Amino acid sequence: MSRVYNFSAGPSALPEEVLNQAREEMLEWRDSGMSVMEMSHRGKFFSIIADELEQDLRELMAVPENYKVLFLQGGATAQFSMIPQNLLRGKTKACYVNTGAWSEKAIKDAGNYCEAVLSASSEDTRFTTIPDVAGWRVDPDAAYLHYTSNETIHGVEFQSIPDSKGLTLVSDMSSNILSRPVDIGKFGLIYAGTQKNMGPAGVTVVIVRDDLIGHAPKSVPQVFNYADQAKNGSMLNTPATYNWYLVGLVLKWLKAQGGVAAIEQRNIAKSRLLYDLVDKSSLYRNPVEVPYRSRMNVPFILVDDALDKPFLAAAEANGLFELKGHRSVGGMRASIYNAMPEAGVKALCEFMAEFERTH
């Protein structure tokens, strides 16, 4: 068949231009005589790719000079352990805000290394809102304050950076990194798996302020130590080289789109199309409070869940794939990351309107 519109929550759709370039360079990158995936990570060819990758990310996100940019393995999930191991710096507590499934996982793993203080939670609303920052219980003895900037399963997103009340701010930005401008200077550390807005799965980006690293206990293995990884250009051991290259292609594509500020405008427009349709419909419903709705992940239910299966089947017949919601919440979910073109969202909206008319 021809290429479909793919609304997967991650791994997710990539820009077709990126796939085309990867295809063209598959057997030989530039004049190197070899595929990127065959290159020594310490060789002259891959060094160019690695340098451009970091430089492009620094440029796109306006990363200040006093921050290190790391490209690691293990996904955001490995960071749930690496963050307390590296950032506790002798303290015994860290604060966490619980706004959904990903926050919960981060909290659970932090508990292996420290007391994970629950500063706020929206669990009582089934994660359809974000607790008012004014009410967050922030412990001044905590090493940092952690929150998840976008919850992919519940479709809840922070629309601004919360006041950390003096604590070092740490954020899991896996599912909305590069979708909107962010003032990195307000954070101690941000991290993100690449498989949503940055490329294929297999790389985890960590951006961390200089002064926070180098304080991990000696018992933390080098490969899990930010300072050691930073000293070695994230090449303490062999990195996922081809994945770095693909992330680099996505960053160059994003620059060609006008960068993060430009893509934010498109993300606003795309998500508005979909939320407007859902809100005007009597068949579809999104339970998230309007100010906290995610621009990246739009979950919705059909008020008659007997229509779920016919909806999904008809969607696929119309070239609209991966719309089934996460098993823990049911219903549908359309993930519309940077690489989803407006045409894909329009096609979905037209299909949903037509489905409602005929059911």
* Interaction site with its own copies (CB under 8 A): 1-4, 6, 8-14, 16, 19-20, 22-23, 26-28, 31-35, 37-41, 43, 73-78, 80-81, 109, 112, 193, 195, 199-202, 219-224, 236-243, 246, 319, 321-322
- Ligand-binding annotation for 77, yes or no, is yes
In the residue annotation, 253 being an active-site residue is answered as: no
> Which tokens sit at 114?
């420290």
Closest CA to 272 of 302, 289, 294: 294
Q: How far is the CB of 27 from its own copies (least distance, A)?
A: 5
**196: annotated active-site residue:** yes
Distance CA 236, CA 73 (A): 11
Q: Is 241 annotated as a binding residue?
A: no
Nearer to its own copies (CB atom), residue 277 or residue 345: 345
β-bridge mates for residue 120, sequence order: 97
Residue (167 or 203) nearer to its own copies, CB: 203
- Does 238 count as an annotated binding residue? yes
Least distance CB 85 / its own copies (angstroms): 10
| Catalytic entry in 29, 56, 68, 102 | 102
237 labeled part of a ligand binding site: yes
Closer by beta carbon to its own copies, 80 or else 127:
80
Task: Tell me if 76 is assigned to a ligand binding site.
Answer: yes
Q: State the minimum distance, in angstroms, from the CB of residue 282 to its own copies.
A: 30
Of the residues 196, 252, 270, 324, only one is catalytic, namely 196
For residue 227, the minimal CB distance to its own copies (Å) is 16
Instruction: Please indicate whether residue 183 is annotated as part of the active site.
Output: no
User: Cα separation of 91 and 77, whole Å?
Assistant: 22
Q: Are 322 and 7 in contact (CB under 8 A)?
A: yes
Nearer to its own copies, 115 or 163 (CB): 115
For the bound state, the minimum distance from the C-beta of residue 2 to its own copies, rounded and expressed in Å, comes to 7
Of 85 and 129, CB closest to its own copies:
85
Give catalytic residues, as residue numbers. Answer: 102, 172, 196
Binding-site entries? 42, 76-77, 102, 152, 172, 195, 237-238
Binding-site entries for pyridoxal 5'-phosphate? 76-77, 102, 152, 172, 195, 237-238
Binding-site entries for L-glutamate? 42
